Structure 1
């Protein structure tokens, strides 16, 4: 059953006549669900859409109906096929991952161009021929089963790898014999959020953390509690694995292992609510040694950088909001952090120990610098980078004579470089050749003023011949201390080639300027994030970079929340909006899967002050009838078990139920996909073509085949 809405779709170019088109939105049933908290009654008429699409036929039918309506509309967009053809050409280039050297061998990923999943290779020497170890492209017919994370043993003879199916956060671990290519019988289930595992030095097995087996039917929605750390000995079943550590007193704590390069110490990282951080160590040279806590803090960030002998190196915000490097002597009766590299005006993004040196990655106005130090903290130069861009960090081991890093920028495809620690030489190891000319594009950074007077940086990317107001895509994230840095995307090049502008705002809530910048955009300060983003849009128009009616916005996950919130607060500012896999119901986010981890940024809905703050900006609860909204194409995946799709389902149903103007308010729901990782290349291309065609329509972009 459908509710028919007549939607007048007008091209934003004044010379083009309006075209009327009918969109058939599915009729979404409502339920009389009203919750009362702190004297406030909150309606939740679409609560039933939280149910798992795998188990609820009514939700599955709703998904099918919404996709049918969306597909019907998208098929009318003239730029869709042009974007798809061009995106296919732009994605069709050879690309590599950063190599991992173990046992004299080099392990790395490679994609020939349009392969749905990257293939894992190994070389027996730096310049030797590559040999395929794992090709996941035959694992499923739809290409949605991915080789996720992987880790070679220290001798390079075994490879631990994880399998991700349909984009889920769950992982299945397997072990490969590198010499023969044989997959061993070992299998580990119910591991989540990446490869939380670390090999024993002798390769006899590995340490890993996992969650208990969930109840049947709740695998993709229930909270993840009671993380435990085990040791798996090769050749034995998972049921025989030895429990190393657990915290039954704190079911919300998550454990992760790391064995030091010399194999002596097992370092156990423990994260909990309230930004609680603990580190415990086990001396692996002592049989039956028990974990000993060396760090136990709240509201302090810690990151393990490496070890030399009995000394562990960490980055931390303890006494340093922009982070510093400290060392802890494990032989001390009372291990205490000792400063190695002091806090700097720039923000320390991370540090690694390679070749008896410490390499620290700094952010200077969201641009990367890599500085080199001796292990006692003396400055020892920098790494010469090929330009302004982003380096993820120098990878390698303490005793290696070389390290590898990836460098990219908005118009520079990711290039892998080798760094010789002794000579300081930087040489390309894998340099891609994409089907576009980087010299055509200009990247600039400007600072604008937010509502409260805060100066916020923003990158502006466009072709050098684009002048005056142009269709513009504004992107941001604004949360969880995550900086948004210059990086390459072939999808964005397709937008820029059509004369579009890309703007990336480094708003508060991220990690661009350290703890203060993050704190300024979380909890009761979350409105600053929305004000910063709105300010970015206003600045783009004021500066003549874009015009009113030409501004589209995009954000994913926490950024999807951002887009949903600002559309409610300033619907007049934007022509189109693309909220992806967003957290849209801020009163119930902590009840599903990973949601409990987010209370440190968002607050606890069961606490009154947090509840009232969350209700004030929750996208689902603040859609305003009687106001003209921009065109909206929300995206999610039916099997996303990070931000469960019920968030976007409910938000879409609410949009479609309200009188918010004639523009389309649709949802695109991917099947057999999750929060983003592991998505096949063909699905990425199809989705991006749909998104760009949608916002091109509503920003007035005239899409033409490239070369015309």
Structure 2
């Protein structure tokens, strides 16, 4: 930095210095002087002038000390502010020939200054490793960052310090946190579970049993500090409560059994559940035991099986469910409420009832194949002696069918009875409620709920509070783990501008009852739009902008999207995104191909060999927003998590010119290394291609952000990851950022923060989530010039 000061002062008599963190002074790290501060100390104030402010020239103001030379108080100018004036006129008024405000936009002469202004990233060595996958050689110079050893952890901690210092060092941390907390309505509520006339629910650290869904009730147990509830499942008779407890944010959880009356902790199986995706436990109808899906080895090995636990003997045995050989997919056992049938549903994203067992047969019956060889979804429940399900087989937007459990040819769709035909909406979920079935649908992304009788005939519709989203598990299989049917339907609802509320509908009732009102309302306007993709397909999106803003004026815009795994992005409330809008940003939520918003064809359009279509759709939305005057590339950011984080990485490395900032969260970023990880190998084979096929590997390399990094001018990058993430392990973030820091030819920061006691999100503690959101929002405020 001292060399930079000398370089400036040797060349110019009068200097304009921008205080906008990130371009000239870089963020003021604790204990590290800024360029502006050092120049201010060196200048002769009888002759020179220091101007302090942002570097934008399209409207934001610059703080200026005075129009006449006088001693300059750097701290006062930063902390208290002074009269404002546009940057360019201010520079011209003082005949300032050197504008250091946008160094990264100035060619040639400032290369030395660029180098001097580089952030103090920790030294990052490279290794001569070349990975070979299906005979394809792939250089992997940062392979060592995949380790979890002292060297890597020291590097990781230093990177986290740099990220926090860069983002928050020049900002009002208290104001950022207050803004995040103001719009933090908590996570999407987990609905109370019904058993034997009572309701069980989480209430802070306690699990409460009450006569009403949100009645006062009494605590059955209280979790210790650091424990997170993964799921809960009361026995049908309500005597015993099973819960899953996670202690490190990883989603790995163990079963805990508690006597509901006494609170006594009972013996429980020792197995570790990889996650809550298979619903926790599925109770026998008589409450004498349960089935669950758990790891058979270490979490890293990712081998799982279905188990049965008998309470009377405290015995846990493997349940011999006939699933496809070699499958790593999740399996959920669905017992019928009358205790006769067991159905095994297999595959987390597109479940199919692959096996059935009649417990009334001699010796409890044996498992036999049911619906096999099906590539689509058949997701439902046992209703009497039939399996009633939503399926996309023969109907891209879904239909409701019934399959007799004793059918001779259950795998043949021609033998299924159609109850609800395909229509203009996308059918997603089916929930048994008393003697009825509640059918969840998406109407151009917005929720709809119809009521069916046991024969499958539509008999009504649930009036929703508005155009918004009804909460559903991330994956379809989890939604099948409902336990015994409740006598009334509870559902959580939100919109893009109102936080989650909970409502009750009783079959036959004309209206609903609000059990929990929304806690937060965002003062914003919601609009719908469509962007033309390269092939002419119209990609829908929603715009959420602060109320009273003019849509004709280019705004700081953040695009969020997912577009993967047949999972729909819902038009629902998210606290971090709401805080961004409250800070003056415009949010664009895009519904890209690969997601489940518009049906199976929409999903398959960006799947495996066509996965790139998702990334092309994102670019189409971004370019449309620029072309229509909504924003400009220097005020445009993108964020996404998990596979959406990979989407961000592809956008960053293939179109760095399109973005001011890119923010992947809990991301998958190195597909080639992922092929060596048992869990990601499972995911990649489903969603991307064959890791053993050379052509597929070469295609995947072309969409793997880590492999796509080349020397270039990149936008500002901030990657968040969890140290205990079992899905997208933190080395994805470490490796990409190391390679980007070495390849960055511009001055924008490339930052990574791996948070301790955090995972992929579902089991991360609330305090950690708030800290993540504060830093994430601070980065956007810093880069997009927002005011808080």
Same fold (TM over 0.5): yes
Number of matched pairs:
671
Partner of 2:142: 46
Q: Sort the Cα spacing of 1:41 and 1:323 in 2 relative to 1 into closer, same or farther, 3 A.
A: same
Q: Does 1:619 align with 2:715?
A: no
What does residue range 493-642 of structure 1 map to in structure 2 within 5 Å?
A: 493-598=578-683, 599-625=685-711, 627-642=712-727
1:162 to 244, 255, 258: 244
Deviations 1:593-641 (A, max 9, x none): 421332221112321221121111210011121x211100001111111
Distance (whole Å) between structure 1 residues aligned to residue 23 and residue 737 of structure 2: 16
Distance (whole Å) between structure 1 residues aligned to residue 676 and residue 339 of structure 2: 39
Q: Shift of the alpha carbon at 1:529? A: 0.8
Partner of 2:183: 90
Partner of 1:444: 527
2:573 to 459, 471, 488: 488
2:161 to 68, 74, 83: 68
Q: Shift of the alpha carbon at 1:384? A: 0.8
What does residue range 189-200 of structure 1 map to in structure 2 within 5 Å?
A: 189-194=271-276, 195-200=279-284
Does structure 1 conserve the Cα–Cα contact (< 8 Å) formed by 2:230 and 2:251? no
Q: Sort the Cα spacing of 1:278 and 1:493 in 2 relative to 1 into closer, same or farther, 3 A.
A: closer
Give the greater-gyration-radius structure (CA). Answer: 2
Does structure 2 conserve the Cα–Cα contact (< 8 Å) formed by 1:9 and 1:18? no
Q: Shift of the alpha carbon at 1:683? A: 1.3
Q: Sort the Cα spacing of 1:18 and 1:236 in 2 relative to 1 into closer, same or farther, 3 A.
A: farther
Distance (whole Å) between structure 2 residues aligned to residue 318 and residue 93 of structure 1: 37
**Which has the larger displacement, 17-26 or 501-510?**
17-26
Q: Shift of the alpha carbon at 1:449? A: 0.6
Q: Shift of the alpha carbon at 1:39? A: 6.5
What does residue range 302-321 of structure 1 map to in structure 2 within 5 Å?
A: 302-303=378-379, 305-321=380-396
Q: Does 1:255 align with 2:331?
A: yes
Q: Sort the Cα spacing of 1:426 and 1:552 in 2 relative to 1 into closer, same or farther, 3 A.
A: same
Distance (whole Å) between structure 1 residues aligned to residue 572 and residue 283 of structure 2: 31
Q: Shift of the alpha carbon at 1:19? A: 8.2
Distance (whole Å) between structure 1 residues aligned to residue 244 and residue 486 of structure 2: 26
Q: Shift of the alpha carbon at 1:258? A: 1.5
Does structure 2 conserve the Cα–Cα contact (< 8 Å) formed by 1:96 and 1:110? no
1:13 to 43, 56, 59: 56
Please give the secondary structure, in 2, of the residue aligned with 1:596. Answer: helix
Q: Sort the Cα spacing of 1:571 and 1:431 in 2 relative to 1 into closer, same or farther, 3 A.
A: same
Q: Sort the Cα spacing of 1:29 and 1:544 in 2 relative to 1 into closer, same or farther, 3 A.
A: same
- RMSD in angstroms over aligned alpha carbons? 2.5
Q: Shift of the alpha carbon at 1:192? A: 1.6
Does structure 2 conserve the Cα–Cα contact (< 8 Å) formed by 1:186 and 1:236? no
Q: Does 1:29 align with 2:125?
A: yes
Q: Does 1:180 align with 2:259?
A: no
Does structure 1 conserve the Cα–Cα contact (< 8 Å) formed by 2:249 and 2:765? no
Does structure 2 conserve the Cα–Cα contact (< 8 Å) formed by 1:80 and 1:690? no
Partner of 2:366: 290
Does structure 2 conserve the Cα–Cα contact (< 8 Å) formed by 1:484 and 1:510? yes
Q: Shift of the alpha carbon at 1:178? A: 1.2
1:339 to 383, 401, 418: 418
Please give the secondary structure, in 2, of the residue aligned with 1:24. Answer: coil
2:779 to 684, 694, 697: 694
Distance (whole Å) between structure 1 residues aligned to residue 453 and residue 577 of structure 2: 40
Please give the secondary structure, in 2, of the residue aligned with 1:539. Answer: helix
1:229 to 306, 320, 335: 306
Deviations 1:1-46 (A, max 9, x none): xxx9x96468452254628855111111211111345775320011
What does residue range 644-663 of structure 1 map to in structure 2 within 5 Å?
A: 644-663=729-748
Q: Sort the Cα spacing of 1:276 and 1:587 in 2 relative to 1 into closer, same or farther, 3 A.
A: farther
Q: Unpaired runs of 5+ in structure 2?
A: 5-21, 27-53, 63-99, 104-116, 473-478
The structure, 1 or 2, with the larger RCO (C-alpha pairs under 8 Å, 6+ apart) is: 1
More strand as a share of residues: 1
Q: Shift of the alpha carbon at 1:77? A: 3.3
Please give the secondary structure, in 1, of the residue aligned with 2:672. Answer: coil
Q: Sort the Cα spacing of 1:399 and 1:245 in 2 relative to 1 into closer, same or farther, 3 A.
A: closer
Distance (whole Å) between structure 2 residues aligned to residue 234 and residue 147 of structure 1: 22
Q: Does 1:378 align with 2:457?
A: yes
TM-score normalised to structure 1 length:
0.89
Q: Sort the Cα spacing of 1:127 and 1:44 in 2 relative to 1 into closer, same or farther, 3 A.
A: closer
Distance (whole Å) between structure 2 residues aligned to residue 93 and residue 164 of structure 1: 18
Q: Shift of the alpha carbon at 1:545? A: 2.3
Partner of 2:192: 99
Partner of 1:418: 504
Partner of 1:202: 286
Partner of 1:115: none
1:330 to 405, 410, 416: 405
Partner of 1:404: 490
Q: Sort the Cα spacing of 1:272 and 1:160 in 2 relative to 1 into closer, same or farther, 3 A.
A: closer
Q: Sort the Cα spacing of 1:333 and 1:520 in 2 relative to 1 into closer, same or farther, 3 A.
A: closer
